[in-house]
């Protein structure tokens, strides 16, 4: 889906739809649409929902039900301030038909009520290579103006009153305000599910027992980004987790910058390189396999620097991307990335860098430059969490390695202003590693 633009200049009416050329014409949502992307102003949120080349322009949902309107793959994303907004996405059936379901409503509220309604947008893309695959329709509703640190109940679907189709009800909780003294946020860090969707099911089930607020996915959800059947497995395998927990994903090299990736997740900014403040944590997500590799030293590095400068007050700083900068396994340490981003990470004293790519778990000693930091509190800990399903690689050890383990698993981060607890688990719940960092003045 979406990319978000700060919308000081966007003052049109609520949900004003405008074409890619800014003509204001409402785009056609039929199968025959030009698949050149487009944008839709979400005035309540103050930004635009933008689809990319390869997808239709987003259009406001209509109370129209197709042949198979039952919502499926209900899941959450983040595009705006996580303390006051949430994105709900889902799919319906008969996506290839000329009369698909267009109803895109969310009923939601606090204290178990469903007394508020929001209408979202719908668009579709063509999976596969060369526009020859199946049509995949996304329903996407952005809920804005929510109360911080509050639990909401919601259901998705819609209809014209005479005929309606709704999902089961689910819940989510908004992020606490950044200055909250006591609030703890829980992140699950996981990646590289490709090929191993049954293991991913087990991992997701284990993750759900920790009730995370946010899943940070380190990339490579699928083996080939254009193949829709893999994405179906990816989302179906973790349906329960994703219906209650938003997911932010780094782009992995196996996603191949496919339209599927950019349509199936809802993330801030251009969905490749962006920053996100979630309670006491500031997270910068970077695409380390962009279409133009020059972006690594350019746009990505600039954004990393800007985000870290702007978030200097954040108690904890994280960077997430896919290819590990420090790894003793198959792929090894990516020295190109370290050359581009390492000095920025060091300068801003980033606490933890999260990645995947090598299919195992590894935690580095605190690193500064190309060496282990002389004083631990000056270094950055690099964590490889890339073992959520793909065939495991042998783990190794380098001079930087603190712990490494060849097991399927995930990492749980519990973050509050004064403390960061990291625990690595295997998919069966075995504890692999733990680390506690306490903030000092």
**CB-wise, 163 or 211, nearer to other proteins?**
211
Q: What is the DSSP string of 87-156?
A: EEEEE-S-TTSSS-----EEEEEETT---EEEE-EEEEEE-SSTT-S-EEEEEEEEEESPPTT-EEEEEE
Near other proteins in 273-332, by CB under 8 A: 280, 289, 313, 315-317, 323, 330-332
Q: 392 and 410 in contact (C-beta within 8 Å)?
A: no
- In sequence order, the β-bridge partners of residue 142 are 87
Is residue 169 a contact residue for other proteins (CB under 8 A)?
Answer: no
Instruction: With contacts defined by CB under 8 A, name the span among 8-16, 131-139, 159-167, 251-259 that binds other proteins.
Output: 251-259
Closest CA to 160 of 88, 98, 103: 103
Of the residues 196, 219, 268, 342, which one makes contact with other proteins according to CB under 8 A:
196
Of the residues 30, 134, 198, 306, which one makes contact with other proteins according to CB under 8 A:
198
For residue 54, the Cα-to-chain-centroid distance in whole angstroms is 20
In angstroms, give the least distance from the CB of 69 to other proteins. Answer: 19
In angstroms, give the least distance from the CB of 191 to other proteins. Answer: 16
Closest CA to 386 of 217, 199, 148: 217
Of the residues 229, 298, 302, 347, which one makes contact with other proteins according to CB under 8 A:
229
**CB-wise, 323 or 340, nearer to other proteins?**
323
In angstroms, give the least distance from the CB of 334 to other proteins. Answer: 8
Near other proteins in 360-389, by CB under 8 A: 366, 376-378
**CB-wise, 118 or 241, nearer to other proteins?**
241
**CB-wise, 30 or 151, nearer to other proteins?**
151
Burial (0-12, 13-18, 19+ Cβ within 10 Å), 309: exposed
Tokens of 359: 């299919």
Is residue 179 a contact residue for other proteins (CB under 8 A)?
Answer: yes
Instruction: With contacts defined by CB under 8 A, name the span among 76-84, 153-161, 226-234, 296-304 that binds other proteins.
Output: 226-234
CA quadruple 118, 245, 185, 216: dihedral sign:
negative
Sort residue 11 into left (φ over 0), alpha (ψ -120 to 50) or beta.
alpha
- How far apart CA 106 and CA 317 sit, in angstroms, is 33
Is residue 418 a contact residue for other proteins (CB under 8 A)?
Answer: yes
Of the residues 253, 290, 346, 372, which one makes contact with other proteins according to CB under 8 A:
253
């Amino acid at each position: 889906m979406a990319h978000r633009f700060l919308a000081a200049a966007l003052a049109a009416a609520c949900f004003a739809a405008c074409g890619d050329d800014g003509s204001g014409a409402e785009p056609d949502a039929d199968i025959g649409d030009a698949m050149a992307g487009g944008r839709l102003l979400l005035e309540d949120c103050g930004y635009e929902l933008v689809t990319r080349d390869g997808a239709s322009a987003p259009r406001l949902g209509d109370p129209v039900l197709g042949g198979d309107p039952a919502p499926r793959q209900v899941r959450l994303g983040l595009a705006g301030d996580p303390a006051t907004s949430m994105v709900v996405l889902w799919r319906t059936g008969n996506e290839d038909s000329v009369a698909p379901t267009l109803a895109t409503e969310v009923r939601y509220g606090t204290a178990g009520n469903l007394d508020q309604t929001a209408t979202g947008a719908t668009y579709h893309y063509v999976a596969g290579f060369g526009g020859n695959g199946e049509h995949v329709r996304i329903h996407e509703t952005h809920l804005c103006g929510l109360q911080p640190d509050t639990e909401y109940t919601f259901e998705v679907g819609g209809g014209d009153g005479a005929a309606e189709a709704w999902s089961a009800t689910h819940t989510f909780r908004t992020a606490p305000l950044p200055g909250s003294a006591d609030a703890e946020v829980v992140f699950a860090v996981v990646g590289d599910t490709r090929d191993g969707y049954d293991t991913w099911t087990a991992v997701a089930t284990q993750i759900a027992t920790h009730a995370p607020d946010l899943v940070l996915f380190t990339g490579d959800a699928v083996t080939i980004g254009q193949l829709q059947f893999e994405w179906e497995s990816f989302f179906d395998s973790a349906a329960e987790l994703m219906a209650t927990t938003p997911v932010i994903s780094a782009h992995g090299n196996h996603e191949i910058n496919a339209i599927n990736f950019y349509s199936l997740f809802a993330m801030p900014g251009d969905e490749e390189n962006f920053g996100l403040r979630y309670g006491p944590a500031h997270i910068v997500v970077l695409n380390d396999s962009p279409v133009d590799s020059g972006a690594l030293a350019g746009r990505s590095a600039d954004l990393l620097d800007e985000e870290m400068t702007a978030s200097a007050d954040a108690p904890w700083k994280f960077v997430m991307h896919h290819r590990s900068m420090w790894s003793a396994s198959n792929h090894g340490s990516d020295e190109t990335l370290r050359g581009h981003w390492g000095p920025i990470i060091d300068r801003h004293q980033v606490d933890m860098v999260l990645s995947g790519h090598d299919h195992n778990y590894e935690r580095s000693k605190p690193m500064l430059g190309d060496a282990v930091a002389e004083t631990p509190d000056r270094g950055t800990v690099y964590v490889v969490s890339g073992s959520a399903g793909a065939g495991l690689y042998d783990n190794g050890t380098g001079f930087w390695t603190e712990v490494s383990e060849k097991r399927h698993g995930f990492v749980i981060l519990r973050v509050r202003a004064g403390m960061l607890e990291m625990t690595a688990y295997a998919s069966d719940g075995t504890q692999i590693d733990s680390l506690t960092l306490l903030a000092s003045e």
